[in-house]
């Protein structure tokens, strides 16, 4: 990746590339990462992100491809995944898109893994990272095991890693 392009990446993408992916790649034995942000083929990258929730693509060790959803947050390490479940505007949410992809025979793309990392500042490596299969995350919400948080215009499912583990959903936590 050219240095000029790298400088244009957002802080969260930069932290994901520089710190999060190398850490989870080592612990979860994953392949190389192709990041969607800052690509010359921005149209396809935008469609993958907006329509499918794919922020990156893993080149798997066996030669395949898998979608990756990522979120890096600054502040308190809540040790949870957050997924938008309702918008006051009525626009389709991440939860609805993933559920539709899983429950239909449409062949729609979705991220195989969801990664959430927490850092204390936009320039500091995350101190804790959680990774799970997106299908497990959506099932956890569908089963009603999540907590709900309301903002001014949306609702989010809060899926605490420890609760997911207790309920038998595999979540890898890396500190």
Q: Write the pLDDT tens digit of every residue in 45-91.
A: 888 988 889 999 999 999 999 999 999 999 999 999 999 999 999 99
At 59 the three-state DSSP class reads: strand
Q: CB 157: neighbour CB atoms within 10 A?
A: 25
Query: Torsion angle of alpha carbons 153, 157, 161, 165, nearest 10°?
Result: 180
pLDDT of residue 108: 86
**Cβ contact 70:111 at 8 Å:** no
pTM score = 0.90
Buried b (16+ CB within 10 A) or exposed e, 87-116: eeeeeebbbebbbebeeeeeeebbbbbbbb
CA angle 76-110-108, nearest 5°?
155
Q: Round the average pLDDT of the chain to a whole number and report it.
A: 91
Question: Which band of pLDDT confidence, cut at 50, 70 and 90, is reported for residue 40?
Answer: confident
Main-chain phi, psi angles of 55, to 5 degrees = -95, -20
Q: Considering the chain, what percentage of its residues have pLDDT values greater than 70?
A: 95
């Amino acid at each position: 990746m050219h240095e000029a392009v790298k400088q244009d990446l957002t802080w969260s993408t930069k932290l994901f590339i520089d710190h999060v992916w190398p850490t989870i790649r080592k612990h979860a034995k994953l392949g190389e990462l192709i990041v969607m942000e800052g690509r010359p083929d921005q149209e396809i990258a935008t469609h993958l992100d907006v329509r499918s929730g794919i922020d990156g693509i893993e080149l798997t060790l066996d030669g395949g491809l898998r979608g990756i959803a990522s979120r890096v947050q600054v502040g308190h390490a809540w040790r949870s995944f957050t997924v938008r479940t309702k918008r006051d505007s009525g626009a389709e949410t991440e939860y609805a898109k993933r559920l539709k992809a899983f429950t239909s025979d449409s062949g729609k793309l979705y991220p195989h893994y969801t990664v959430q990392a927490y850092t204390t500042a936009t320039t500091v490596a995350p101190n804790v990272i959680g990774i799970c299969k997106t299908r497990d995350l959506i099932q956890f919400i569908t089963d009603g095991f999540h907590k709900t948080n309301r903002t001014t215009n949306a609702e989010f499912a809060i899926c605490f890693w420890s609760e997911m583990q207790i309920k038998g959903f595999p979540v890898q936590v890396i500190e």
